[in-house]
Amino acid sequence: MFVFESKLGESDAAAALLENSLGFLISSIIFWLQDTKQEEIKDVIKELMICLEQNNTAEHNNMTLDVLPSNSTFSIPPSVPEKPVDLTFKPQINNVLSTAKLGCKLDLDFIVRNTWNCEYNPKTFPAITIRIRKPRSTARLFRNGTLVCAGATSIDESHRAARKFARIVQKLNFPVRLLNFQIKNIVSCGRFFPVHLADVRQAYSKKCSYHPELFPSLFFRGLPGVTATVSPNGTIILNGPRTTEELHKASEAISMILSPFRKQ
């Protein structure tokens, strides 16, 4: 029985010795085929296969050393699995519409004459338009004391903007109180993934409207109190939520609805 020990990555002398040993082993097999038992022949063949496998591994290592110099610090990075695609729609709030009562009737002509950044044209619209920069918002003031505030990007900003507008009117000696502040609409927008809109219309024909010859986007009304406008490139606009919780629920629902129709 012959036992060969091969160390991978040795010098050329070791490789030559391995080849001579393999030749001697093959000759021994031919010599034993007539006189030895079947079990001994199997053992010798097994040793031969082990030596051949070690020789192939040594040649592979030599090729690797030829590509990379011995003093190289480069290491082959391990394969990194691909990250799964995030199929969750995460919208960003673009506009918050809120209303409030100021608790008194307003003289719009007097207000527009004594306030900066005001616009008033009773022939086109029966309210004053006032704008502020921080937070960037626009308000409409009606004679009955109704305040409509738009342009804020969060509920807190909308509330602060309403207080600032009320303070502007209060400085003109009106008995103003900010009452019944309510969020009426939260408009959000975000980028999802491209969607086959025609397939969505076919699957939800009673809950959506899609006429590409008139408008390229699809209007989905299958969410409670929320309308989703879906464009072919994956941009989605959610209109109708009044709280952030409703917005999150609507975004999760539209993600589940549109995910099967994603363009590959």
- Give pLDDT tens digits for 71-80: 555 455 555 5
* CA distance linking residue 259 with residue 195, whole number of Å: 8
* CA distance linking residue 102 with residue 141, whole number of Å: 9
- List, for residues 8-17, the tens digit of each pLDDT value: 444 455 555 5
Task: Evaluate whether 33 touches 44 at the Cβ level (below 8 Å).
Answer: no
pTM above 0.75, yes or no: no
Tokens for 228, please give them: 């989703």
Give residue 194's pLDDT.
Answer: 92
Task: Evaluate whether 237 touches 188 at the Cβ level (below 8 Å).
Answer: yes
Give residue 158's pLDDT.
Answer: 97
Nearest to 3 by CA among 43, 59, 53: 43
Give residue 20's pLDDT.
Answer: 56
Give residue 90's pLDDT.
Answer: 85
Give residue 86's pLDDT.
Answer: 57
Which residue stretches of the chain have pLDDT < 50? 1-11, 36, 60-68, 74
Residue 212, CA distances (Å) to 90, 138, 197, 209 in order = 26, 34, 9, 10
Give residue 192's pLDDT.
Answer: 85
Give residue 40's pLDDT.
Answer: 57
Nearest to 120 by CA among 106, 133, 137, 134: 106
Measured CA angle at 43 (ends 14, 58), to 5 deg? 25
Nearest to 114 by CA among 160, 70, 171: 171
Q: What is the DSSP string of the chain?
A: -------TT--HHHHHHHHHHHHHHHHHHHHHTTTS-HHHHHHHHHHHHHHHHHHHHHHHHHHHHHHS-TT----PPPPPPPPPP------EEEEEEEEEE-SS---HHHHHHS-SSEE--TTT-SSEEEEETTTTEEEEE-TTSEEEEEEESSHHHHHHHHHHHHHHHHTTT-----EEEEEEEEEEEEE---B-HHHHHHHTTTTEEE-TTT-SSEEEEEETTEEEEE-TTSEEEEE---SHHHHHHHHHHHHHHHGGGB--
Nearest to 176 by CA among 255, 246, 111: 111
Give residue 93's pLDDT.
Answer: 96
Give residue 52's pLDDT.
Answer: 53
